[in-house]
Amino acid sequence: MLTLIAGLVLGAAAPALPDLPGHLEIDFQLPAERVILYPPSGELRMLSGLRLSPEAQQAFDTEFRPTTYFSAFATSKSGGWGYATTTNSAEAARAIAMGECRSSNDDCILVAEIVPRGYREPGPGDITMTPEVAELYRNPAAAGAPDGAARAMAISADGAYALVWGLPDQAAADGAAISDCGQHLNHDLPGVEPMPCFVVPGLPGTN
């Protein structure tokens, strides 16, 4: 079996505070039925005029702003911040950024996000992808997964993904993709509900 896997990038800073109450929800309404693909370019949307601390501004400029969708940045009045970059869902990016900020700060709010140009919120059964994952979905053979073979892609809203091939049948490929994707989930962020991996439907060139 051959596998291509990756995860997400996130960050946070500032003094520690107690865990968050409650849960932040994500937007994929499973089962997955349709893959919504966008052009690779993203656009920055400013959601708040709250002034960033110098440290948060540096993180925003050097670690967050150069990325693409789906990404989000949150900050607190105390100067701390949290962010998530290149997740597979706008709502997941927002939830993770808020969770990262709230894990070490109080009174966090979202200040910016990066979404695809022409983005609209997904409907039931719709799933979205970061540009890197979308390119693998469009052309899995370019990653080495031959057409017609038993191969599968699994993703999570939080940005984890896996593309597998070389399995004896499709059921084995689906199971391996979910298992490998699951090894790269972000499991330990207080207040953010789990974002499980699932098989992406309609992988081109797959029997």
Task: Tell me the three-class secondary structure of the chain, residue by residue.
Answer: CEEEEECCEEEEECCCCCCCCCCECCCCCCCCCEECCCCCCEEEEECCCCCCCHHHHHHHHHHHCCCCCCEEEEEECCCCEEEEECCCCHHHHHHHHHHHHHCCCCCEEEEEEEEECCCCCCCCCEECCCHHHHHHHHCHHHHCCCCCCCEEEEECCCCCEEEEECCCCHHHHHHHHHHHHHCCCCCCCCCECCCCCEECCCCCCCC
- Closest to 153 measured CA to CA, from 9, 4, 1, 8: 4
Q: Is residue 114 assigned to a domain? A: yes
Q: Is residue 204 assigned to a domain? A: no
User: What angle is formed at CA 200 by the lines to CA 199 and CA 205, rounded to 5 degrees?
Assistant: 115
Q: Is residue 57 assigned to a domain? A: yes
Hey, CA dihedral for 198, 176, 132, 147, is it positive or negative? negative
Would you say 199 and 154 are in contact if contact means Cβ atoms under 8 Å apart? yes
Q: Is residue 193 assigned to a domain? A: yes
Residue 174's pLDDT is what? 95
Structural domain span for residue 175: 2-199
Q: Is residue 206 assigned to a domain? A: no
Q: Is residue 154 assigned to a domain? A: yes
Q: Is residue 18 assigned to a domain? A: yes
Residue 89's pLDDT is what? 95
Q: Can you give the pLDDT of all 207 residues of the chain as single tens digits?
A: 444 444 343 333 333 333 333 334 445 666 788 999 999 999 999 999 999 999 999 999 999 999 999 999 999 989 999 999 999 999 999 999 999 999 989 899 999 999 999 999 999 999 999 999 999 999 999 889 988 889 999 999 999 999 999 999 999 999 999 999 999 887 677 778 889 999 999 888 665
C-alpha neighbours within 13 Å on the C-beta side of residue 194: 6
Q: Is residue 205 assigned to a domain? A: no
Question: How many domains does one find in the chain?
Answer: 1
In whole angstroms, what is the distance from residue 17 CA to residue 14 CA? 9
In whole angstroms, what is the distance from residue 192 CA to residue 137 CA? 27
Record the pTM.
Answer: 0.83
Residue 28's pLDDT is what? 61
Residue 20's pLDDT is what? 34
